[in-house]
Each structure stands twice: as C-alpha cells, then as structure tokens.
Amino acid sequence: MKISPQWLRDYVDLKVDYRTLADDLTLAGIAVEGVSGAGDGTVFEMEIGTNRPDAMNHYGVAREASAIYDLPLKAIQPRLPNVKGASGFPIEIEEPKLCPRFTGRVLRGVKIKASPPKIADRLALIDQRPINNAVDATNYTLWEMGKPTHVFDLDLLEGGKIIVRRAREGETLRTLDGIERKLTTTDLVVADARKPVGLAGVMGGFDTMITEKTRNVLIESAWWDPATIRKVSKRHGLHTDASHRFERGADYESTVLSCDRVAELILESGGGELVGEVVDVVARHVDQAPVELHVSEVHRILGEKLSTEEIFRILNKLGFELMPERGGEWDFTVRIPSWRLDVEREIDLIEEIARLHGYDKFANTLPAYAGSVVELPHAEKGQKLRSSLLALGYNEAVSLSFISHEDAKQFSPMPAIELANPLSEESSVMRSSMVPGMLNMLAYNLNRGGDNVRLFEAGNVFEASGPKSVELKRIAMGATGSAVAPGVHQPTRPLSFFDLKGDVDNLLQALQHNALYYDANTAEYYHPGRSARAVMDGATVAQFGQIHPDVAGARKLRQDVFIAELFLDRLYARGLREVRYQALPRYPAVERDFSFIFADAVVFDKIYQAVAGLGLAELRSFVPVEIFRGGGVPAGKYSLLLRATFQSNERTLREDEVAQWSGKIIKALEGLGGRLRAS
C-alpha cells in the first residue's frame, strides 16, 4: 500500500526528512519497501503485515512515528454543524454475533460534485481514483484512519430502515462492479425493508449507489466479524480494500468517529444539512481482555534493563493504558486499545516495547542458558543429509505448507486435510506432498532467467488418518538445467536422470542398510522411462526422476525438470554409517570384460543380482562399461560391455581361478537369456 509522508504531517510535526523517516519506520517494523517522488509528492510503498490493520492507514503510521520520535499525536476531531430535526431512520441488527455494532448518519440537501483539490490530489497520489465528493469522503476516511465506510442514496432505500441480516435463498444483489451475484443463506447483507443493498463488509449495491441525482445520503460505519467477511469475500471472489481490513480486524470503537468524519467532508464540499443525532446501534460489546505486564519479564526477555519510564512512554504513545497492580511496584495491568486486536499476551507487549525502543540498540549477547543440552531426535542424521545436499550444489529453500485441492489430488494418494478458513483456493489444504511447492519454486526461478537451478526443502507433509492427522518428514529435491558448467575445457551437458540418481544414491549411502536397489515403480506424475524408486531393506525410501511432460506442460515449465522425494521417517529409523579405515590391498586386481547381448526387458539390476548371487568372495566390483544398440544388434535387444574386477587380500590370484569365476559369470548371464558376443 502507499502512504504520503506529507499527509502524516497533519497528525505529527515531523522534523526529519522523508528518507530518514522511511528508515526509522522500517527499523520499527513498519516496512517502507520503496520511496518515489519528491517534495510534497513523495510516496512510501509500504509492506504492512497482515496482523497490523491498524497501520494500514496514515493515522496508524503517524501513531508509530509519534512513538518513534516521542512527538504528540494530534487527534482526528470532526467539526459538525448543529443537527436539525430527527433522522427517523431505524437500524435493526438480526445477527449480533456477526455485526456487533452499526452506526449511521443522515445528510439531506447534499450536492454531489467533484471533490475539492486537496481530497482529490491526495487520493490520486496514492493511486486512488477520485469519483465524487461523497464516495471520495469514504475513501479518504479509509486511507486516513483505516475504517471502511459506505454511503447510500437515502431515497433509493425502501421502507425507511436498514436491516443487517443473512441473505435469503434465491436473493440476488448487483454490486458496485455491476455484477449480479446470487446470494445464499451463508452471506451476510445490509438490506432495506425489501431487498439487500450491500454485501456486508465487502462491497455496496449498485442500485443504491451515489449519483449526480443524489440529494439525501445515509452514511454507514459498522464492525463485522472477521471470519464471516473472509468467507463471504472468498465465496464471491471479491477482495476489496474494505474486506481486506475487516478480515483482519477493524477498530470497534471507530464507527462513530469515522461516520462523523465522512459527514464532515461531505458537508464541507457539498453543503446540505446534518439531520438528527448519530444512530449508533450496539448489539454486543467487543472488549479485549487486559494483559498483565511484569517489568522483570521485560528485562528477562530483552536482556536489557529498560527504565519503567521508557516502557510507559512507548506503550502510552501506542495507545496502551498502564495501571499499576496493587502491592506490585513493578507489575501492571495493560488495557489494550480497540485498534490493536493482534495484542493478546504479555509477550506481544514486550515485542512492542522492543521494536519501538529499537532492535539496533540492544547489545549483541548470547542468550541466557541454564540446564542440560537436549539433543533433538535425528538431528545428526538431518544435518548429515543437509550438509551433503549443500555439498552437491543444492540450495535450501522454503515453500508454503498449503497447496490446492487439485495439487493434493494429483501428487498424493492420501486424503488431504482441509483448512477451515483458507487464504485462497491455491492454498486450501495442508500439503500432502512437497512436490507442488518444489515445482512452484523451480518455475519461479526459471521465469526470472535462472536456467540452472538446484533446490532442496526439508519439511513435513500432512495426511488425514481418520479423525486425526499425521505429520511425516520429507525432503524434496529439484534440479533443472546443466549438469556441468560450460567452459573452455568442457562443453555444457544437460542434467539427466542419472545425475539425479547419483545425488540420491550419494545421500542414501550415508545410512546403514543391508540391501539397496532401484526399480521403475514410481508415481504417475513422473516420466515412466526416466524415473525410479529406491528400496532399502524392503522399504521404499525415495522416488525420483523427470517430471512427466504433461505435468510440466500444464505448469508451463520450459525445460526438463527433475524431482526427488526422500521419506525421512523411514530413513531416520536407520543409523548413520560408521566410517571405517580399510588398508589398501597389497595384491594386484585382475579385470575381465564380458560383451553380452540381452533383450530390452533385461535390466541391469537383474544382471547384477544374478552375478552377486554367485557369492564370489574375490569379486570386488561388477559394472557396465558400454551400451550399444543398432548396427548388428537385432531390434529389441542391446549390447552391453561388462567389467568384473577380482582381488584378494591374501595372495595374488591365479589365472585358472579367474577363468573359473569368469565361466560362472558367463553361465549366470546366459541363464538370463544373454548371448556372449565373439571377441
């Protein structure tokens, strides 16, 4: 969002230049991401956390500045003319749990026209399009004090009253964007005596909007239940400036003030009369419980003894009220201001003290320590895998723990855990696989010119197990681009399945096991001919390979992408391999090559197992050297050159022994249907 520092001067007499102000706000946690313009046209591009709706406006930022520089904060005090007559406009709240408070004011004889230059220019400076003086008054109030309001054409409201209720089945509402929306009983609406005239907390209705013909105006300022507004906003696909604030918790006590402020601005520009007193209907009170603050705890957490005067100053400037506890000179009860719904515990108050005092002012010290060292389970194994991945050239990354229903269905056979109040459809369930997050991170890098990317992420996946949920530990690896960097001594080579297999094998060899083999039994989102799973002592511990072209195409991945998934719960059941010293052999090794023709159905694992099953004690290695298809090799078959290495730790091997062992190998391979090629 955008903030005008010149506008802030209406409330705080700032003595610093705008660049210094931007830096100081950022250090206090109200981040200024960028500064544009100059002089009175300077604009801050702000990044305000979702838990701080109180700072999503100029007055909220001014309050932070007053605390930073210990300057007075000027109050917003609307000046209204004397009221004439009675408003005679009742407000009924049928859903007090969802709308605890609704405030209204009536203006008559107003002239709708363009806003004064000050209002229009300030709105334009923060990229808000001026519309007319009545609508602009609500937008100005929103960006001034953070409270969404709305104005109705009073003459278009039927029945002479406002009702806050749930929509009835079959009702429709044409919102201000011109779209006819079908309502359900889950929607909360503002209605007149006959029909809905606004989607509560989200957007007003088209049929009662302010036009040039409007002469009489009803101003609305209400407080809505955040969860309800979030659901309504999501169901209709409407995210507005109003819903953004109501979803996060607006100021309950500001309804009258904001209503008066809008009335003041409209009357100043369009004339008219203020009819009747403000109509303020309170269906229930929204109070925040006070929080106990112990100065000793402030000192313990911050590691520095701030004076009680400094603690008082900071909290008072932010609107908190401190009351000493009886008999406790250093204990206080803190009353939370209505605009700070994010402050619920003592530690929240301590955070406020720390950030306004200045994190940079605290000395760099080690945290206090008492007690014994508690080693986290599997910490050593996790660190070993992490350090190995970093050594292999992978960079650690972190993605969201939420994915979409579609991704959950595509990448995991297990049922996903639904979120009660998701941020969006793309983040509607807890992740049951880490593959979607890894693909998103790879795509993010590829779309920004990073052709060679290697990432890994360690985290949890979540699966539904009856009424409970299960958290399982995983590592996801992602790689794309070149296997080797090009240079004057070697050309580049694209990453292949075998490069990823080598990385996975490197990781698995760090753990104790008796048997490890690879087969082609993998998930459907992998390329069927370029993927494998790793089976360690009968348990699947990893699956990896190239992402299926259809999956890659749907995600607009413009080059081959390789993914590996390691199932840490199964791997952590094993110990780390112990490093053991083995002396170099004193006797020479003997190598023998075998050239065989096999059917395509015979994979190397079968060949290796057949030879390993011979139990030749002196056989040190048995590896493929060359593979060839075509030429004199019949279709459906391939030629494979194999190399066996024999060696003894006791003596020099004799030729007749090697010949005997070679004969056994040939016989075993012929048993697989292989044919020895003539030399």
47, 33 Cβ separation under 8 angstroms: yes
Q: What is the DSSP letter of 80?
A: -
583-641: pLDDT as tens digits: 888 999 999 999 999 999 998 989 999 999 999 999 999 999 999 999 889 999 999 99
For the cut 70, the answer to whether the pLDDT of residue 373 exceeds it is no
Q: Under CATH, to which class is 2-69 assigned?
A: alpha beta
Nearest partner of 527 among 504, 540, 542, 544, judged by Cα: 544
pLDDT digits (tens, 9 = 90+) for 374-433: 666 778 899 999 999 999 999 999 999 999 999 999 999 888 898 887 877 888 999 999
Q: Which of 119, 141, 24 is nearest to 71 (CA)?
A: 24
Question: What is the per-residue pLDDT across 208-232, written as a single tens digit (0 to 9) for each?
Answer: 999 999 999 999 999 999 999 999 9
User: Could you identify the residue written with the tokens 């403000």?
Assistant: 278
| Three-state SS at 291 | strand
Strand order in the sheet with 150-153: 150-153, 217-223, 101-108, 273-282
pLDDT at 451 over 90: no
pLDDT over 60 (residue 42): yes
Give start-end residues of each CATH 3.50.40.10 domain in the chain. 91-282
Half-sphere exposure of 210 (CA within 13 A, CB side): 24
CB 421 within 8 A of CB 482: no
CATH of 91-282, one of 3.40.50.2020, 1.10.3720.10, 3.50.40.10, 2.60.40.1930: 3.50.40.10
> Rounded to whole angstroms, how far apart are CA atoms 459 and 471?
10
Average pLDDT over residues 550-574: 94
CATH placement of domain 379-571? 3.30.930.10
DSSP letters for 10-64 = TTS---S-HHHHHHHHHHTT-EEEEEES-GGG-EEEEE--TT-GGGSSHHHHHHH
H helix or E strand, kind and range, residue 244? helix 241-246
pLDDT in tens, 605-614: 899 999 999 9
Per-residue pLDDT tens for 529-555?
A: 899 999 999 999 999 999 999 999 999
Task: Give percent of the chain with pLDDT exceeding 70.
Answer: 97
Residue 329 is predicted with a pLDDT of: 58
Is 284 exposed, middle or buried (CB count within 10 Å of its CB: 0-12, 13-18, 19+)? exposed
CATH superfamily, region 590-676: Ferrodoxin-fold anticodon-binding domain (3.30.70.380)
Give residue-wise pLDDT tens across range 69-98: 999 999 999 999 999 988 778 999 999 999
To the question of pTM greater than 0.85 for the whole model, the response is no
Domain(s) labelled CATH 3.30.56.10 in the chain stretch across: 2-69, 291-360
d(CA 208, CA 547): 53
Q: Where are the beta strands (DSSP E) in 377-452?
A: 395-396, 402-403, 429-430
φ and ψ of 328, to 5 deg: -125, 100
For residue range 131-168, what is the model confidence (pLDDT) as tens digits? 999 999 999 999 999 999 999 999 999 998 999 999 99
Asked if residue 261 lies in contact with residue 76, where contact means CB atoms within 8 angstroms, the answer is yes
Q: What is the pLDDT averaged over residues 335-352? A: 95
pLDDT (tens digit, 9 = 90+) per residue, 98-130?
A: 999 999 999 999 999 999 999 999 999 999 999
67, pLDDT greater than 70 = yes
Report whether 111 contacts 270 (CB < 8 A). Answer: yes
Mean pLDDT of 288-292: 92
**Start-end of CATH 3.30.70.380 domains in the chain:** 590-676
Ranges of CATH 3.30.930.10 domains, the chain = 379-571
* Euclidean distance between CA atoms 250 and 353, whole angstroms: 23
What is the domain class of 291-360 according to CATH?
alpha beta
